[in-house]
Amino acid sequence: MSATATVAPKRKLRPARKQVAEGEVDKSEAIQPGKEYNIWYNKWAGGDKEDALANKTLSQTRCIIARDAGYTRADATGNKYCCLFFARGCCPYGHECNYLHRLPLPNHVLPDNSRDCFGREKHGDYRDDMGGVGSFNRVNRTLYVGKIHESPDKKQAEETLLRHFGEWGKVLRWNILYNRGVAFVMYDSELNAQFAKEAMANQSMDGDEILNVRWATEDPNPGEKKAEARRIEDMGQKAIAGMLDEGLVEAAQTVRALEEGDEQDFYHIEHSKDNEEDEEELPEQPSDEDDKEQRRPIKKVKNTNGGFFDADALDNLKFYAELAKKQALEDQERVKERKVPAKPAGMASLLGGYGSGDDSD
C-alpha cells in the first residue's frame, strides 16, 4: 500500500475569549500579616514569612490557552507585550484588549530588554523573596515551585508537573525534591518562564495545594554556568550573523587578506553550474622571463552571484596579494644577507670606552 500525503487544514484565526465578566472577580484584599506597606517592594512588611505563605488564597481564575487564546487589537497595532490579566485568567476585554492574548512565540523579540513579556520594568536586583518582575542583569529561565503535594508514585509526580507547567512553553529540564514539596522547572525561553510564573501563581495542580512560584536562584553547578555562557554566546553570534550582509563580510575579509598578505583568507564564493559553463580560461600570453612571474591566466566569468565583487575583481585581488607576499619574502631574504656577523670582543674593544686608543691622550 502506498502512503498518501495528507495536508492538514489551516486553522482559522479566532477572536480572543473574554475570560471573565466585569465585576465577577472578588478584588477584596486578604488579611495582611505585615504592619507597614512597602511601596518599593509592593507588599506588606513587618510580618512573619511563614504567616504570609499560610495566608495565601487560591486564585479565583486560571488561564487555559487552548480555550482563551486568540487575536486581539495588539495583533493589528503591533504591540509585542502580552496581557498580564490574560495570563492570570481574568481579562474581561477579550479580542478588544490592547495586549496579546497568546503565549510568546519562539522568535518573539521584545522592543525593550529591560521589560518583561508583560511590559513591566525589571529591576537591577531580585527581591529578597525572589518574587516580582525579576532582574535585567541575568537571563533567568528557571522557576522555583514550592508547596506542591507530592504523589507516592514519582512518575506520576513528574507527569503532573509537566502537564501543568508544560502548557506555558517548552520545558528543557525539571527536578523534583521529594519529601520537601519543591520542584524546579527550566524553560527554553525566558519569556515563557515569565508567563508561566504569573499563570501558575497561587494556582493548584491535581491537589488542593496553593503553589508558591518564584524565580530560582543561580545554579551553583560550574558545568551549568559554562553551558549557559556557551548558549548566550551562540545566540549572540547567530543574531550578529543574521544582521550582517554577505557582501560586507566578503569585502572585509578581502581587505584583511590584502593587509596581512594571506591569500587563503579570501571569502569563498561558490559558483553555480551556469557560472562554470560560462567560465573560459585563456592561455597565458608570451612575455619575457621577468614578466612571466607577473603573468597569470585570465578568466572571464559572468557576475551572476550578486556578490560585492565579481570574479575578475577577486582574481585581481588574489594576484596582487600574491605579489605582495612574494615581495615581502624577498625583502626578508635581503635583510638576512645584509646582516654582518658581530666581531669577537677583544682588548681594544674593551678599553675603547676609556679612550685608551685615542692619540690625543
- CA distances to 26, 47, 196 from 62, rounded to whole Å, are 14, 28, 12
The upper half-sphere exposure of residue 124, i.e. CA atoms within 13 Å in the direction of its Cβ, equals: 1
Determine the pLDDT at residue 83.
Answer: 96
CB 133 within 8 A of CB 122: yes
Q: Model confidence at 113, in pLDDT bands (50, 70, 90)?
A: confident
Q: Which three cell numbers stand for residue 60?
A: 479565583
Determine the pLDDT at residue 7.
Answer: 47
**Residues, the chain, total?**
361
Q: Which three cell numbers stand for residue 26?
A: 472578588
Residue 278 confidence (pLDDT) above 60: no
The rounded distance, in Å, linking the Cα atoms of 62 and 196 is 12
Q: Which one has a higher pLDDT value, 288 or 173?
A: 173
The 3-state DSSP composition of the chain as helix, strand, coil percent (nearest 5) reads 35, 10, 50
Say which CATH superfamily domain 130-237 falls into: RRM (RNA recognition motif) domain (3.30.70.330)
The rounded distance, in Å, linking the Cα atoms of 48 and 43 is 13
CB 144 within 8 A of CB 214: yes
Query: Pairing state of beta strands 36-38 and 43-45?
Result: antiparallel
pLDDT, tens digit (0-9, with 9 covering 90-100), for 143-185: 999 999 888 889 999 999 999 999 999 999 999 998 899 999 9
Q: Where are the alpha helices (DSSP H) in the chain?
A: 49-54, 65-68, 74-77, 84-87, 154-165, 190-199, 222-243, 246-260, 273-278, 289-292, 311-338, 347-351
Determine the pLDDT at residue 51.
Answer: 55
The answer to which of 80-84, 183-187, 238-242 has the lowest mean pLDDT is 238-242
Give the chain's end-to-end CA distance (angstroms, integer): 116
CB 219 within 8 A of CB 142: yes
Question: Which helix (H) or strand (E) covers residue 174, if one does?
Answer: strand 171-177
* Residue 71 CB neighbour total at 10 angstroms: 15
Q: What is the mean pLDDT of the chain?
A: 77
Spatial neighbors of 287 by CB under 8 A, at least 6 apart, are: 295
Determine the pLDDT at residue 238.
Answer: 74
The rounded distance, in Å, linking the Cα atoms of 130 and 217 is 8
The rounded distance, in Å, linking the Cα atoms of 165 and 251 is 49
Spatial neighbors of 21 by CB under 8 A, at least 6 apart, are: 92
Determine the pLDDT at residue 309.
Answer: 62
List the domain boundaries for the chain: 12-102, 130-237
CB 141 within 8 A of CB 191: no
Residue 266 confidence (pLDDT) above 50: no
Amino acid identity for residue 173 in this structure? R
